[in-house]
Structure 1
């Protein structure tokens, strides 16, 4: 089923990239990507987005696990329904990214982030994310767009 492939592809792609970054990139190094539009640099994020709640690692670990379990149950239910391809693709991306980030937390106590946008705006340049974060964002948008589309069973 294509939606399981999407989920696993997001999970495995980010997992492999994180392992590569953890082995090859030292803190403080910046490596330009795509003609300098993006930067590869390593950040260990103990919190949620932008390091929020980093002082509560157990709450983050168990809270995200609970959210993932609830979302996986909904995902299984959604996969059994006909149509709703955009919603299914979107939630596949969200779960793939969420699982990879959660696995990172479980494995090492933090999430490895490694991409930032090389921008003139310092606040934007300071934001560091990973492929899972990107797919969580993209998948959420797709899911919302799919929610507005009328379900015709296709």
Structure 2
């Protein structure tokens, strides 16, 4: 893949992930009552408006303000910066890894943006497949990060097989 095409792919995916997440959160904040629950597909997929002051599943929401800033803002910014520079430096990364890292960076930036601007992250989707599979309440940035992690795992397993 040519360098310019590669760079456009990286920047395009990061910006796309941030934009989709921020547009969806803006819509939720404007149209869904805080703390409410509505059906999208019965009880299987529901819509909420929850402000998460912690990280994944609210972990860290009871930390002191200084610890929250360090662990939920500063540390993720450093990690995302390192990953960002890594994907530009390492030209041997395959397409799945590039897409995976770009999704992780885009989703991470979107959630950090919320934490800095609002002091919390807006979460709004919940899946419950009758007790067989159930999630916490999440957003598109969370989905981007999970998709990115999945792509990295797949890419890594394919490399190990070869």
**For this structure pair, what is the TM-score category when the shorter chain's length is used for normalisation?**
0.7 to 0.9
TM superposition shift of 1:107: 0.7
Name the residue aligned to 1:117.
127
1:65 is aligned, of 74, 77, 94, to: 77
TM superposition shift of 1:66: 1.3
With normalisation by structure 2, the TM-score equals: 0.82
- Stretches of structure 1 lacking an aligned partner (at least 5 in a row): none
**Matched positions, count:** 148
Task: Map residues 2-151 of structure 1 onto 2, 5 A cutoff.
Answer: 2-34=9-41, 36-54=43-61, 55=63, 56-59=67-70, 60-78=72-90, 81-82=91-92, 84-121=94-131, 124=134, 127-150=136-159
Q: Distance in 2 between matches of 1:122 and 1:87?
A: 30
With normalisation by structure 1, the TM-score equals: 0.86
TM superposition shift of 1:106: 0.9
Kept in 1: contact 2:44–2:130 (CA 8 A): no
TM superposition shift of 1:75: 2.0
